[in-house]
Each structure stands twice: as C-alpha cells, then as structure tokens.
Amino acid sequence: MLRRVWQHFAEAGPLIGRDWPIIYRWSDDERVAHLEALGVRAYPALAYAHRPAMAADLNDWTLDFAARTPACVPTATFFPESGVVEYVAAALDRGARLFKVHLQVGGYDPNDPLLEPVWGLLAEAGVPIVVHAGSGPVANGYTGPEPFGAVLARHPGLVAVIAHLGAPEYEDFLDLAARYPNTRLDTTMTFTGFLESRRPFPVERLGMLRDLGLAGKVLLGTDFPNLPYPYGHQLDALARLDLGEDWLRAICWHNGASLLGIPEPDAP
C-alpha cells in the first residue's frame, strides 16, 4: 500500500494536485535509523483509512510496528463503517495512544452517525486524535472548519489535533483551538517553502500562534517520511518565525511530550 501511496504522490494524483517528490522512499529500518540519528526521541507511525475494510488491518500493522520499535507511539485509525466502534475499542485495549483520520483523502463526513459513538469513546478515554480537516491540498465537501467544528461542538472535551494548522483555513482553525480546551494544532508543513508558496500563513495571526503554543496547544508535526524537502527544513522554518526560544522548545518537545505522556529526558 505504501508503494501505491508513493506512486500517487509521484504522479501528482487528484488528491495531491501538485508535484510532490518524496525524498525518503526508504525501508522502515532506514527511516527509523534516520530519525534516531536526528535525535528524534519519540514519534507516531500515523496511518489512515481512505475506504472501508482497511482500518482494522492498518491498526494491526501500526500497533505491531510500535510494539517492536521502542521510540514509536502506538497509533490507530478508523473509517465510518460497520464494526468501527468494536475495532476502535480493540485498538484502545491494545494500547493505542493516538489516532489519525484524514477527511480530505477519506472523503467522508466526520458527522456520519456511524462515527458518533467513536468520538464519544475517544473523548471519554482522553486519547488524542490527529485530524486532517483543512481543505489542503485539494478541498472536498467535508473539509474546512464547519464539518469537524460540528463534532467539537457536540464533543467539546475531545482531544483533537488539527493537522497542518488547518491549512488553508488557518484563521478558522486557530479560533477553534482557542475556543475548545482540548483542541490543538500541529505544524506539519506550515511555514516551509513548499506550503507557503501556495497557502501562506496570515502574518497577523502570528501573535495568536505564539500564545497558543506557549499555552500547550501547538505541537510539531512533520509528515515524515512523505516529504518533498529534508526533515530539517520544517524546523528551520519554525525557527525563522522568531517567536522565542520558549515557544520553539514548547512546539518541538514539551507540548507533544505532555500530550502523549512522554517523560522528559534525563539531564546530561
């Protein structure tokens, strides 16, 4: 499946809409070794289902991968389908500490009645979920702030992390993060040349981004390994914002570690 995903990126497929040359088309072992060499202490292996009858199998893979990869956070996904509550509960029982869904690629409504008990289950468990809810790179009828905003209105305690700062609807998703106590944002691809060339972040909202980050509500995301630029470019892009060392440390370590219960490293 990963080879098919890479092929879709290479062909600038309809869900991508632009050239996207992935530079980390390596084996799992090579990618894990690269993250270790970069000093990345913890990371999730995020997968998401884009059609029925695949989420449970993806969960088997991601949870097994985490079990044999010490730095990997156990993750899972789901799709609006029969049996979704059961396999989400099973993933939680197996130790899933983070979920991922992709409304843009999956093309489904987060308000589907099949998902209502899942949102409630995750909210009750306090387990975070990364949600690609923004309309980038190609919008569909279920992206943008309104569909997932309706989920948050019904489940305000849901621990949600909006991917890509909600690009391109940055302002609306920043407002959602400010409104709901457990809603956060991740920085995936934001401020890099790749994304800024098409969907620049509104400079008038940088102050709000700084405040939310210092409040624990913005955390690092990268999309590694499916990147068209070196991993470090994301970090350089965040540093260039010049929002302060405390903000940068919060984004790159403290906020994510706190969210996922990862202990602080021992002092040298």
Domain-wise residue ranges, the chain? 2-260
CATH class as words, domain 2-260: alpha beta
pLDDT at 8: 66
Under 8 Å CB-to-CB from 34, ≥6 apart: which residues? 24, 26, 231
Q: Are 78 and 53 in contact (CB under 8 A)?
A: no
pLDDT at 96: 98
Closest alpha carbon to 187 in 243, 266, 120:
243
Closest alpha carbon to 9 in 139, 105, 141, 134:
105
Under 8 Å CB-to-CB from 121, ≥6 apart: which residues? 85, 88, 89, 92
189 residue type, one letter: M
pLDDT at 20: 84
- The segments of the chain whose pLDDT lies below 50 read 268
Q: Which helix (H) or strand (E) holds 117?
A: helix 116-125
pLDDT at 166: 98
Q: Are 60 and 32 in contact (CB under 8 A)?
A: no
Structure tokens at 261: 């219960």
pLDDT at 5: 72
